Structures are given as structure tokens and as C-alpha cells.
């Protein structure tokens, strides 16, 4: 009985191991077929050769699996499994798009908006045109749906080309009609409302304008007056203000009877500001970020105010930006030069640059001086030299920059991670970027992949 039970245990183990091996085998077979049939991948024969070698190892594994020690066999499969994933990435990119599209945008939810001869469609990350270029306009996918325009009407499709919400909305809807939190702003006969993902009317089409939702609240307008409603359409304030901004950190800036102040989400007056001349009203402040908002006086000098209504950074600059979330620095302009101050008003990045961007999540801001671009850190030190001809902000840990009239990518240390060989590039989104070389669009993978597609980056 013990021998029989032991044999049954071995057989069960053997079946499990063979099943796992067959999964790897099928995976490699399919990838080898892709490698052989995909033109961009045929340009990387060394990868296909490595795959075939792995394939040989799997055949050997199948032959000896019945006699191999169980623990050793499972360890071998565990070791080999990640290689199949790496090779999948290696095979997939770069991908040269078959069609010469006029425009190719970054990927959102796995789809990129493309256009040709004034018509729009979508490609997936394999470069396949999965939704034909037949629409008059198209917006990126958001929450599995994309707004598209046809015959001067706007509707929504899913990723299988199904018309989910009928083409009945104004084609010049503003703002972007993409879904967020299950809701989208659209208009009919120039009146705005809000719909859900089934096309159900959540907020009636009675408003002259609706802003994008912020902190669960929409800003609406009727007859040039502004008010606020929640996402169910319930009024938070009457529509009485002559101007208003969106809610941020629980407060929104409004104007009423020539006075400017901040209200809370119950519509109560929280911060009253000194009366300014009419042409400076409202636009002299913005919204709170990191507990601070911009403030401008009648003589057009800018500073910062806190939530108590106190000026905490002197009103002396020609212009100021907002404090970047979690970075603690804000751009300021003085005598036509730019720098950054911290929340104590100390000038951390010297005010010497011709232009600056906000700090990115990795702690670098792009600066321009003498026609060249570089990057500074949060201590004001020049982290990457001023030598580039153009730039894009950091995205997914890398930045697109231009050198000798060609674009490439650098990491946060300034190291070149993708060569300067492209005519055009998009930032990395969803681990891929769109580049253009020799007038051909190409999808490339992120340089920090475990097995980056370096063949696609060289001449």
C-alpha cells in the first residue's frame, strides 16, 4: 500500500510538472512564430536565436521530467519562467507602424489615437489598427470608453468598436468629454449636462457651461453667473457669482458684488480679500495648493497667501506659479528672469533663468538659459547640464530632449538611455513611447524594462 500510494504521488507530481512545462512550451512556440512573422522582429535575429535555444531546453526538460527530482524540476521551471516574459517583451518592440499616419498620440488604456487624411482611429500596442480611421475626431480612451465624432455629432465607443452611447451630442463639446469617476460632460444644442457610462442623464442639460469635476464638485454657469453643484446635480451654492474657480483643498475663489473671497463646500465665506481694482479681481488669485495660493496687488506684484488670508511670501514678484504638490517649491519671475522659492519665501533656485517648468515627481525641473535647456534639483543645483535644444518633462523616470537636431531620452542622472536618432518623440506612457525616424512611426519600449528593445534604438 505504501508503494502504491508513493507511485500515485509521483504520478500526480509528474502530471503537474508536465502541465507547467507544456505551458512554457506553448508560450515559446507562439513567440517564435511571432518572431518569424513580424517584419520588425525579423530585424533582430539574435533574439529569435536565443528563443530557439530556450525552446531546445524545454524539449530536453520534457524528455527528462519523469525521472527528475521533483524539487529540482520545479526550481528549473521557476528559473525559466521569467525568461519567457523577458523574451515576450524583447520580441514585441520595436514595432514599425505599417501606415504613415499624420499623427500618433501617446497610449491611454492600451490604445493610441491616430489620424490619416483628417480621419481618426485607434491602434493597440502591437501597432494594429483596431478601430479604423473613420471618425472626424477622437479622444483618448478613459474608463474603457472613448468619445468620437461622426457627422458633426459626438458619441462613445468601447474597445471593440461597439457604439455604447449614441451619436447625439454636440461635436464641439468643451471641456474634454472623457469619462472620469463614471461621468462625462457633454452638450446638446449648446446646453451642458452630465451622463453616466450607459448614456443616462445624471445632470440635466440646462447649463451654459460645466467645468471638469474637482473634489466631487462641478462649477456651472447660467446667464454669465457661476455656481456649484455636486455630482448628483444637487446645488451647493446658488448661481449668483460673477466669477469662480474650481475647488481645491476644500476652497474655491469667487467674486460677488465686486468682492473677491474663498468659499467652502457649504458655500460659506471663509476668506475675504482686500478689494482690488475691477481688472485685477478674481484673476489675482487662483486656487490652493500645499496650503498656499497666489496673490496679486493692484500694481501687479505677486506673492503668496495662506488659508488664514495672511500674505506669507512678500508681494514683490512679476509673476508666481503654484507650489507643486509634495515638492514644496514654486516658480517665480522677477525682472524677466525665473527661479524657485520654498514655502518660507527663500529663493532656492536662483532667479537667473529665461524659463522654467514645474518640478517633476523625481525632483527635477527643466530650466532654459541662453537658448539651451538643462535640469536643476530641489537644492538649486544644476543636475543636468544646459546643452539641449528642446525638452519634455520627465515621465516614467525619463525625459525626451533634443541634441544636434535629433531627439532621444535621458534618465534622471542625465545619462543617455535612448540614442538621439529621432525626428519626433512622445513621452513614455504605459511603458511605451511613439517615435518617428526616417518618416516612419515606431513604438518603442521603456529603457528600464528588464530586457529593453535596444535594437530599435540604433542606426
Average pLDDT over residues 110-114: 97
Residue-wise pLDDT tens digits, 122-166: 999 999 999 999 999 999 999 999 999 999 999 999 999 999 999
Q: Give the confidence band of 378 by pLDDT, cuts at 50, 70, 90.
A: very high
Residue-wise pLDDT tens digits, 244-254: 999 999 999 89
d(CA 443, CA 424): 12
Residue 32 has pLDDT above 60, yes or no: no
For residue 97, the model assigns a pLDDT of 96
For residue 401, the model assigns a pLDDT of 97
d(CA 175, CA 210): 8
For residue 270, the model assigns a pLDDT of 78
Residue 441 has pLDDT above 50, yes or no: yes
Average pLDDT over residues 228-248: 94
Which residue from 262, 235, 233 is spatially nearest to 246, judged by alpha carbons?
Answer: 262
Least confident of 60-64, 232-236, 366-370, 402-406: 60-64
Residue 52 has pLDDT above 80, yes or no: no
Average pLDDT over residues 107-120: 97
Q: Give the confidence band of 274 by pLDDT, cuts at 50, 70, 90.
A: low
Residue 34 has pLDDT above 70, yes or no: no
Under a CB-based contact definition with an 8 Å cutoff, are residues 294 and 314 in contact?
no
Specify the pTM.
0.75
The order of strands in the sheet holding 119-124 is 103-108, 111-116, 119-124, 129-135
Q: What percent of the chain has pLDDT over 70?
A: 74
For residue 304, the model assigns a pLDDT of 93
What is the Rg, in whole angstroms, of the alpha carbon atoms belonging to the chain?
29
> Residue 276 contacts by C-beta under 8 Å, 6 or more apart in sequence?
260, 284, 296, 297, 298
For residue 442, the model assigns a pLDDT of 97
Q: Pick the residue with more confidence: 354 or 4?
A: 354
Residue 191 has pLDDT above 80, yes or no: yes
Residue 198 has pLDDT above 60, yes or no: yes
Residue 286 has pLDDT above 80, yes or no: no
Residue-wise pLDDT tens digits, 173-186: 677 899 999 999 99
> Residue 230 contacts by C-beta under 8 Å, 6 or more apart in sequence?
216, 217, 218, 236
Average pLDDT over residues 228-249: 94
Residue 50 has pLDDT above 60, yes or no: no
Q: Give the confidence band of 214 by pLDDT, cuts at 50, 70, 90.
A: very high
Average pLDDT over the chain reads 81
Q: Give the confidence band of 296 by pLDDT, cuts at 50, 70, 90.
A: confident
Pull the grid cell for residue 148: 468620437
Amino acid at each position: 500500500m505504501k508503494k502504491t500510494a508513493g507511485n500515485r504521488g509521483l504520478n500526480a507530481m509528474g502530471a503537474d510538472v508536465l502541465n507547467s512545462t507544456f505551458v512554457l512550451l506553448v508560450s515559446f512556440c507562439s513567440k517564435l512564430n511571432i518572431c518569424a512573422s513580424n517584419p520588425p522582429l525579423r530585424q533582430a535575429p539574435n533574439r529569435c536565436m536565443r528563443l530557439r535555444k530556450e525552446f531546445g531546453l524545454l524539449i530536453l526538460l520534457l524528455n527528462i521530467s519523469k525521472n527528475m527530482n521533483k524539487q529540482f524540476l520545479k526550481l528549473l521551471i521557476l528559473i525559466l519562467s521569467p525568461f519567457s516574459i523577458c523574451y515576450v517583451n524583447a520580441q514585441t518592440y520595436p514595432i514599425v507602424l505599417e501606415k504613415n499616419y499624420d499623427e500618433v498620440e501617446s497610449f491611454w488604456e492600451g490604445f493610441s489615437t491616430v489620424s490619416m487624411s483628417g480621419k481618426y482611429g485607434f491602434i493597440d500596442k502591437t501597432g494594429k489598427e483596431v478601430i479604423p480611421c473613420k471618425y472626424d475626431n477622437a479622444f483618448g480612451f478613459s474608463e474603457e470608453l472613448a468619445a468620437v465624432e461622426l457627422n458633426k455629432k459626438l458619441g462613445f465607443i468601447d474597445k471593440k468598436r461597439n457604439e455604447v452611447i449614441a451619436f447625439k451630442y454636440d461635436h464641439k463639446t468643451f471641456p474634454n468629454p472623457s469619462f472620469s469617476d463614471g461621468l462625462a460632460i457633454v452638450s446638446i444644442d449648446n446646453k451642458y449636462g452630465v451622463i453616466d457610462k450607459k448614456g443616462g442623464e445624471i445632470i440635466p442639460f440646462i447649463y451654459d457651461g460645466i467645468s471638469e469635476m474637482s473634489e466631487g464638485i462641478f462649477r456651472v454657469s447660467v446667464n454669465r453667473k457661476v455656481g456649484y453643484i455636486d455630482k448628483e446635480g444637487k446645488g451647493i451654492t446658488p448661481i449668483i457669482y460673477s466669477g469662480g474657480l474650481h475647488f481645491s483643498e476644500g476652497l474655491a475663489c469667487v467674486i460677488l458684488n465686486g468682492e473677491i473671497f474663498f468659499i467652502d463646500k457649504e458655500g460659506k465665506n471663509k476668506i475675504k480679500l482686500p478689494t482690488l481694482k475691477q481688472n485685477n479681481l478674481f484673476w489675482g488669485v487662483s486656487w490652493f495648493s500645499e496650503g498656499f495660493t497666489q496673490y496679486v496687488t493692484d500694481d501687479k506684484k505677486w506673492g503668496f497667501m495662506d488659508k488664514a488670508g495672511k500674505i506669507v511670501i512678500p508681494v514683490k514678484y512679476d509673476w508666481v506659479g503654484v507650489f507643486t504638490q509634495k515638492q514644496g517649491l514654486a516658480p517665480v519671475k522677477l525682472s524677466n528672469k525665473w527661479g524657485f522659492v520654498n514655502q518660507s519665501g527663500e529663493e532656492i533656485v536662483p532667479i537667473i533663468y529665461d524659463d522654467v517648468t514645474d518640478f517633476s515627481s523625481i525632483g527635477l525641473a527643466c530650466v532654459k538659459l541662453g537658448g539651451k535647456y538643462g535640469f536643476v534639483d530641489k537644492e538649486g543645483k544644476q543636475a543636468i547640464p544646459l546643452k539641449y535644444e528642446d525638452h519634455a518633462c520627465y515621465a516614467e523616470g525619463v525625459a525626451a530632449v533634443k541634441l544636434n537636431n535629433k531627439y532621444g531620452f535621458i534618465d534622471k542622472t542625465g545619462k543617455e538611455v535612448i540614442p538621439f536618432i529621432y525626428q519626433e518623440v512622445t513621452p513614455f506612457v504605459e511603458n511605451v513611447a511613439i517615435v518617428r525616424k526616417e518618416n516612419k512611426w515606431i513604438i518603442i519600449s521603456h529603457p528600464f524594462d528588464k530586457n529593453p528593445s535596444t535594437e530599435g534604438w540604433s542606426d
